[in-house]
Structure formats: C-alpha cells, structure tokens
Structure 1
C-alpha cells in the first residue's frame, strides 16, 4: 500500500453546497495520514455560507469573498476562475472536488481542467432535460460532468443519465446523496431552534406546513399562483399553520408580502440556518417547495413534499412517491395539498415512501473511492442501492 499523503482540495461557495460537501470534508479529515485536506470557498454566498461552515465546525483555508450586491452570473464565474487559478497554481492539489451545479462548481471544475488536475464531481448526472429549468443549474452540471474524472452519481438514475450521454461507466460511482448524510447528522429529537420564533410556532396544536419558494424561473405569475394556492389552503383548513422562511430576493419578498401577509396562521419569517430548516421539516406535516435540495431531505423524515416546479432533475423522488410534482398552477397545488390534508390513505402512501437518495453513507463511499484511487485501500465500496 502507498503511504504518501495526497492533497485533496474541496471548492464550494454557497450554503447548499456547504451543507452537502461538509460531511465529505469531515470524512476526509478522519484520515490525516492519507490526505491533506484543503477547503477553498469562493464566498458566492456570504453570511449563509459562514453559518453552514460553522454548523459543521469547518474553517476554510481560503475565502475569496466574491459576493457583492446584484452580482451577475458572468461576474461570479469570471471572478471565481481568476481567484481559483491563482490558488490552484500555488497549491497544486492531487485531486479537486466540487459539488453540484453552482457557478462555483463550474468555475472550480473548469479551473482544475485548465491545470490538468483530476476532478471529482459530487452529485453528478442529475438532469431535467430542459436547459432553462432549473436555470442555470441544468447546464452548469453538464459542464462540470464533462470535465470530471470521477463522477459521483447519487443514484442509479443519475448513472444511467451519464451512460446515455456517453460517459465511461468505469468513471461513474453510485454513492448515494451526501445531503442525506447531512440531514441525518443534523436532525435532533430535542432540538432547540436558534430562531426563537419557531420555538413558539411549533407549539401550535394543529398541523404545520413548511414552505420555501425562491426559483428565478418561478418569478412573476407562477409565484403568484403558488402563493394564492397556499393562502386558500390555510383559509380552508383552520388547523393548518404555515411557516415560510422568505428568501432574501426582493422579487420573492414583494410577491410574498402582497399575497401572504395579514393572516394569523401564515408566518413569514427571515431565512433560517440549515439546522433550523432540517429540524423544522422533521416537525412538519408536509412541505410545499420549489427547491432542489428539499426533494432529497424531506424523504429522510418521511414528509410528503409538493414540488411547485414544472420539471425536476430528481425523478427518483417522484417514482418513489415521496414527492408530488404539482407544477406552478394554482388549482393543481391547491388540489394536491388539500388531498394530502384530507385523505389519510393518500398521505400515508407518500409518508411511507422509501428514501431513494441515500442511506447516510455517501460521504464514506466517496472517501473510500478516493482512497482506492490513490492506493490506500484494496477495494472499492459497494455502490448505494435504493430499496
């Protein structure tokens, strides 16, 4: 067996990336004789990123602090590539890991490619087959996959997407989703919310629905329809309370305030930290969202999710009946949510769905694959296989 240490650089910049990649950082750090772990953050998000890092007790080695007001995709990409180019030139890592589909992931992958350094893409192979939904994520993840040497696909469907597109099967590893690892680590039975407003709200004797909505492709009339449906559901069901941590986007806030304020059981609160969000979902009756990541997290806690989007790059959740794709039509959202609230059999079927995304071991598999590649262990791990 080889004993020379290898330098592994992890590059990320947003809160969702941080929550999903930090379990991998923690796992790598368990093997200091094998790996020198370098954490580089771009600061694509600022306060939210720092919160996520602190939740996992991780200090970055470098923070590019790129975030600025009204930042554009072009600015982020060019600034990140420029900053990362200098760091990678100085550090010369043996492997670079990026996650998902952000501008940071694209920038990290491209810069690693420019330097001919092997790249591992965590969460490879997700596809909606619509380049504008989700936008720009659908194209971002394709770009990262193209330049990657290790394609860490969370599920067999992700692997099939990659094989269909011509990727070499020997470079694809089905690991499960690291978001499941993070959610399992974060959920606590005796959790005390950092946002004291939630501590008060969860004492409500009725059922709680957690809402999130932020996607750019839903701005305008789609979001109006979503929020109108939510208000109708609350007005028709006197035991229901809504908790909605409202995204900081001025567009989202304007629509939410116009439609959802003024009802004593609709609680619009500021964005909350990741542990609060995970534990709020665990205590909710169901979830209404247009999020990507929540599709992976809700099944961990057996909570039905009504997905207010036209497409999803995570069809496993639909197939498993853990998520129902409603689109953004007001009537459809209202109908599906009402059925979950009034039909016990329908609710039971969704809440008993198996989790198609992971078993809490994804980070361990990824690190073992890396250890195998560098000759530290003799065998690859068994792939994740959903029930």
Structure 2
C-alpha cells in the first residue's frame, strides 16, 4: 500500500444482500477510522434486496455495476462482474480490495484484484464443507478466493484451522468473529420497522402466544426435487398442526417460487410473502419459535436471538453451530423435516437445549477487529485481538448514518457502470 493525502484507499466489493449485511458494519467502522478511506463497489448480483440493506445502513455505493439479468447464469454473473470490477479497480487504484464470503461477486472481486496486483482481504474466510458440489457454487468460490487472498479474516477458530490445514500461512489469518452479529445486534436493538408481514405475524401469533415456524429456502443445489420436498413438508406440518403459524418469505427467483409454492397453496396457517427488508426479517427471527432454513447467514444470526435452527442441508460450512447445539442438519427429506420440527415444538427439554446453547459466531466486535487487522497488515498499526467464543454475547451496536448524512465511500457518489 502507498500513502496518499486522503489516506489509504480500501475498495469494498459486494453484490448480494448477505454480503451487504456483513460488509455494512465494516463500511461504518472504516468511516470512523482514519487514515483508511472506504470506496464501495457493488455488482448488483442481487438488486432490490441489496438496495434495501444499503438504504438501512445509509450506504451509497460509489460504483454500481448493475449486472442483474433475468434468470442469469453463473457464467454471465462471473464475466459481467469481472469485467466491471476490472474497470473500477483501474480507475480507483485502491491500496487493498476487501471481499466477503463465498459469492460469485467475492470470487470475481478477488480475481480482478489479483490480475491487477492488488492485495486481497477475505472476510468470512475458511468455511468448508469438503464437498465441492455442496453448496454449489459457494464451496468452490471460497476455496478459489482463499488462493487469491493475502489476509484471511475467519469468523471462528475452526475456520482458521481449515486454512492452516490447507497450508495458508498462520500470520496471514486472524479470527475476528462474524460481522453479521454486529449488524444483527444493532438492528434488533432498534424498534421493529413498519412492515406488513411482521405486523401480521405479531397479530396472528398473539405477540408470542402462538408457535411460529419461520422458513427460508432458496439454495441453488436444492432447486428441483429437494425444494419440492421442502414444500411438501410444510404442507404436512400445516395440515397436522393448524395451531402452528408458518411464515414463508419466498425468494424472488422464479425457479424457487415455481417449485416451493404449489404444495403450500390454500393453507390458512401458512403466510407466504415476498422477501422482506433485513430489519423486518431480523425482527421476524425474534418473533419465531423455530427457524427452518438453508441460509448460511441465518445459521449464525438466529442463535444470537436464542432461536433453534433446523438446516435444510446435508452438510454445512458452519459446523460450529451444530457442534455447539444451536443448529441441526435435517436435509430436505420431508419425513425428517417434519420429525425435527415436531420434536422441537413438542419437547421443551430439546427446545431449551438448542435455544440456550452458546453462539460460537461473534460478539459484536468483528468490524472493529476487521479494520484493525487491515491497518495492521498493511501499515504499522498494532495487531488486534482475536475473537474467542464465550458464554456471553457483548452488544456493540453499529452506529447508523444520521439523516441526511448517508455514508459514501468517497465524494464520487453513485456511478453506474455497464459491467461489460
């Protein structure tokens, strides 16, 4: 990195809602910490869901590639992201590039930086399932990103161990915790936002007197028959448990909707809705009794709220939750899903064992450690502490931008790029 009068430039690249949630605390922390200057580039791999999170945290991207296309292929996402980010990096000339997680945007951001000889910081590094096809394409995306990164920021000690086993140098790996916990604790500490689905759930559940099953399912490896089995399981639960309120915000991808929705039509105790804003979803998790999901981020978030997580996958890159007892793998077989939900709803001892387990994913200070790690790695700043899971969660909320003072990475403001 080279010195400049404006400080060292950190280019943060993301494109999906989960990435935005986890990047937002770091953007805010950089905005408070000199001499590191944030510049934000989004690919728009997700669109409205991405914009919702940026709006919530008061972040206005400096560059927006707008790559989203209807029924886009992975090859299309990759090529449009790579070309667009190459142009952004050539113009910005950042000192370091930060990517997050395992999306196609993260991989192409790291690859574009590597092509231009720029150091790469990989947030949420080290997650592994050891099955290249599951989750698809995330497992390969994160493995490839690890080969391109100079600094690996892992959410847990076991993720660090994964990288060391692959030959990554120990001095380039730091355990920070996951910034998703920083974001979640900030959002859920605020009053619930106005939201139709959230209001209906609270009204129909009697503010917690009725059991609520919150469901999300969308992963690419589950498209087709697995998602159809999930829909069938929800229909069985709705029929057998009319007192149970099932809340199903459905991903906008038509491949998902065309599969999972037909089995659940016509049940009065299944609330189907479009995806909700992140703040509303965080409060939906607070209102839920049990969470049934194939999302990686929700596996981390729900335990911070004391909610058992049943994971609609056969394996997970987040084994810490399973080992700690906050999560349980149930796959996509209908009988197994129904049995797992029944057990938690009917057995208070089993429920308490999951709800009260220690969350291994963060303490609300991951963004601080992330920025300190970048400053230490590429300057003379002192080394940060490492995250160690503890029985108690410490809440250090992210401070939102004041009204009329939205954060931007630089004075450039929003700029549209073709992405080609």
TM-score range, shorter chain: over 0.9
Distance of aligned partners of 1:306 and 1:225 in 2 relative to their CA distance in 1, 3 Å threshold: same
* Distance in 1 between residues matched to 2:35 and 2:263, nearest whole Å: 55
Give per-residue Cα distances to partners, 1:162-207, cap 9 Å, x unaligned. Answer: 011111011000000011111111114631332x132022222311
2-structure distance, mates of 1:258, 1:39: 40
* Residue of structure 2 in register with 1:381 after alignment: 384
- Which structure carries more relative contact order (alpha carbon 8 Å, separation 6+)? 2
Ranges in structure 1 where 5+ consecutive residues have no aligned partner: none
- Aligned counterpart for 1:21 among listed residues 14, 20, 23: 23
Aligned residue number for residue 198 of structure 1: 198
Query: Could you tell me the TM-score, scaled by structure 1's length?
Result: 0.96
Q: Residues 1-387 of structure 1 correspond to what in structure 2 (within 5 A)?
A: 5-31=7-33, 33-188=34-189, 190-194=191-195, 196-203=196-203, 204-205=205-206, 206-375=210-379, 377=381, 379-387=382-390
SS at match of 2:245: strand
Q: Deviations over 1:89-109 (max 9, x none)?
A: 122111110001111111110
For 1:267 and 1:376, locate their aligned partners in 2 and report how far apart those are by CA, in whole Å.
Answer: 54
Q: In 2, distance between residues paired with 1:298 and 1:174? A: 21
Alpha-carbon distance in structure 2 between the residues aligned to 1:42 and 1:295:
25
Offset of residue 27 of structure 1: 0.3
CA contact (8 A) 1:219 1:252 kept: yes
Structure 2 unaligned segments of length 5 or more: list them: 391-420
C-alpha contact 1:299 1:322 (8 A) present in aligned 2 = yes
Between the two proteins, the alignment pairs up a number of residues equal to: 383
Contact 2:230 2:260 in 1 (8 A): no
Distance 1:67 1:249 in 2: 12
Equivalent residues of 1:154, 1:358 under 8 A apart:
yes
The whole-number CA distance in structure 1 between the counterparts of 2:235 and 2:373 is 48
Stretch moving more, 66-75 or 293-302 = 66-75
CA shift digits 1:305-347 (9 cap, x unpaired): 1111111010001001000101111111111110000000000
